[in-house]
Amino acid sequence: MSEIRLLSVDNLKDGMHLAKNVYRNDGNVLLAKGVCLHRGYIEKLKDFGIASVYIVDDSVGRVEIDELVTEQTRNEATRIVRETMQNIKNARTPEGEKVIRIVDSITEELIHNPNIIVNLVEIRAMNDYTFAHCLGVGILAMVTGIGLGYDYKRLKELGIGALLHDVGKALIPDEILYKPGQLSQAEYEAIKSHTKLGYEIIRDCKQFSMSSAYVAWQHHEKYDGGGYPCGLKGEAIHEYARITALADVYDALTTSRSYREQIMPHEAIEYLRDAEGIAFDPNIAEVFLEKIAPFPVGSLVLLNNGEKAVVVRINPEFPGRPVVAAVIDSSGSRLETPVERDLKKDLTLFITKVLDD
């Protein structure tokens, strides 16, 4: 428990203190928890593509943070994905046992978490985007698998596939992968080939199941048949790949490489809803969306009664109706002590808007 607020980088001010570490994608700390922000640091956050951070805010009261996977496991997993891709680049076989072991740890941590709701915005530095994205997709896919009632074996197959879904990119030249601006047709085809290449890499690794390999092959297929590489439709796309497609897009939207493009969970949720039945399997999308808190803890929101409040706790059964602490009343005056309102109990109240400062 701590006193935190989620604040957009544009609204940071000198003298504010960071409430959580901000990591680079190699697992090293970019800016440490407790650091006092100044102009240089704020610019650095922008340079690294970070859109919002958690800051200390004593006026809010206690905010409950529940990490789905421990920091140690996340860092280890990011490292293993990086190593795996490096090995593939250097024409070495990936070390399957290491991947299996880390997916085991993630599975253990997820299934022992009673309130499995994605309730934090992940703050991630983008200079080295791919590896942390793979982990983000892996965790989101497994959370969805749990929502679908998967057993341990299927969770692990899904987790391995989702974690390694983009592994084929290791074989695409960096000049193409990171080319700014328009791609030629040939370059676009080369990028699309990461699906087939990834499939072959996972298939050839004896420790992995074929179902995991299908994730790499089919994660860019779309439910209506408009995807690649095969234009598969509906249930013809492997279920693990249909899950991973959702996780991939959600993670990319909420942790974009440019801080100007990153959007908040409630906006990403709207985007996914609009694409249900077109890009995504509507049934899986519903299960996925039940696991995402549209208003992450620490968000400042406007209630329909005119109060401004900070989200302090997620109700796992109703992720869209959290417990909030009103900090400013409807006339615009700051409340001396925050007033807690449980939107699960008070059904006349709802969130009308996410505010930024």
Give the footprint of Fe ion on this chain (CB under 5 A).
166
What is the identity of the amino acid at 344?
A: K
Give least dist CB 48 to Fe ion, A: 23
Least CB distance to Fe ion at residue 44 (A): 29
Of the two residues 166 and 281, which places its CB atom closer to Fe ion in the complex? 166
Residue number closest to Fe ion, CB atom:
166
Query: Residue 248 or 281: which CB sits closer to Fe ion?
Result: 248
Q: Per DSSP, what are the bridge partners of residue 56?
A: 4
Nearer to Fe ion, 166 or 221 (CB): 166
To Fe ion, the closest distance from the beta carbon of 243 in angstroms equals 14
Q: Cβ of residue 168: shortest distance to Fe ion, in angstroms?
A: 8
Task: Give first-to-last CA distance, the chain, whole Å.
Answer: 22
**Concatenated DSSP letters for 120-169?**
SPPPB--TTHHHHHHHHHHHHHHHHHHHTT--HHHHHHHHHHHHTTTGGG
Q: Which is nearer to Fe ion, 166 or 307 (CB)?
A: 166
Strand duo 52-56 + 4-8: pairing: antiparallel
Can you tell me which residue has the tokens 């706790």? 313
- 92 phi and psi angles, rounded to 5 deg: -105, 155
CB-nearer residue toward Fe ion: 211 or 299? 211
Minimal distance in Å, beta carbon 169 to Fe ion?
A: 7
Angle at 241 between CA 239 and CA 245, to 5 degrees: 120
